[in-house]
Amino acid sequence: MPVVCGKCRSTKAEVQIPYARLNLCPTCFVDFFVARVKKTIEEFNMFHENVTVGVAVSGGKDSAALLHAMRQIYPGIKLVALHINLGIPRYSDHCQTKIEELTDMLHVKLHVFDLYETLGVKIGDFKKTSFKEKLCSVCGTIKRRIFEEMAMKTRVQVLATGHNLEDIAGIMFNNFLYGRWEQFVRVKPVLPPLAEGMASKVKPLIRSPGNENLLYCLYEGVPFREIDCPFSKGTGVRKSAEILETLARYNPYFKHQILNRFLEIMPLLENVKPKPSLGKCKVCGFPSSSETCAFCKRINLVKQLRKA
């Protein structure tokens, strides 16, 4: 006996959502997904409709689903897509091609920052540095800084990222294990601008599991990358995700419980350690807690190695 959709009650269910005790048909699942993104944006007052919103798109399922869903929710909003080509052989060009297909489909303006053409550096260059075992960390540092710059140049007031439920739970898990209490604040749903003229950062997918972002893309025909980053294999991020998935098999609510507890204690964590006063990086002029920001230090490291 086929299971009937718990929403429309007229179509065969294809999607099981155990934590919500729902079985949905494709149409109702898409409606459920879009409604959750809209509710999350409204719950945390992420932005209002008369601002320019930039979506940081990597080419993966999460940011692709976010851009597509936001265009459905806010058809009249000024929406732009921001992408960084990291210069990873085969992978980066594949990602950019998928993003170009998506932005053409949605009629969204795409801005691309080519890391090698602009700075003469590729992510793979860091394999020759002391960061060779921490490429994901370096990549994150570089992308955060470049997206901030892109947002300023394109006059984006709100920068939306595709961090999903597993991303948030994984970051919290690692921060808890290593006692990085001050880092918890960075995964807040809304982060205010670091300085005047910069964009606020929002995470509309914090309640959306990665597998549901994937399903949304498949049902809606959203283009997204079909190959994995060759540098992500065996990283600490992957290992933490595997641990969380194992725990979630025994408790489908587990990742949502982590998120909800985090949101409850966030006001307390903000006072655990005083925030360092931010000055300006002497190289790029962006906000920094040290004389030279982490981004400029890492870029300079690669350039110095090339000169040696």
Per-residue pLDDT, averaged over 210-232, amounts to 95
In a domain, 8, yes or no: no
Residue 181 confidence (pLDDT) above 80: no
Task: Give me the domain span that covers residue 192.
Answer: 26-273
What are 248-292's pLDDT values in tens digits? Answer: 888 888 888 888 888 888 777 666 555 667 889 999 999 998 899
pLDDT at position 308 is 59
Residue 118 confidence (pLDDT) above 80: yes
**H or E segment at 127?**
none
In a domain, 21, yes or no: no
Q: Which residue has the higher pLDDT, 134 or 109?
A: 109
Mean pLDDT, all residues of the chain = 90
pLDDT at position 39 is 97
In a domain, 81, yes or no: yes
| Separation CA 198–CA 286 (nearest Å) | 10
**What total number of domains does the chain contain?**
2
- Are residue 102 and residue 221 in the same domain, yes or no? yes
pLDDT at position 263 is 85
What are 149-168's pLDDT values in tens digits? Answer: 999 999 999 999 999 999 88
- Are residue 44 and residue 31 in the same domain, yes or no? yes
- Are residue 145 and residue 187 in the same domain, yes or no? yes
What are 2-61's pLDDT values in tens digits? Answer: 899 999 999 999 999 998 999 999 999 999 999 999 999 999 999 998 999 999 999 999
**H or E segment at 294?**
helix 294-307
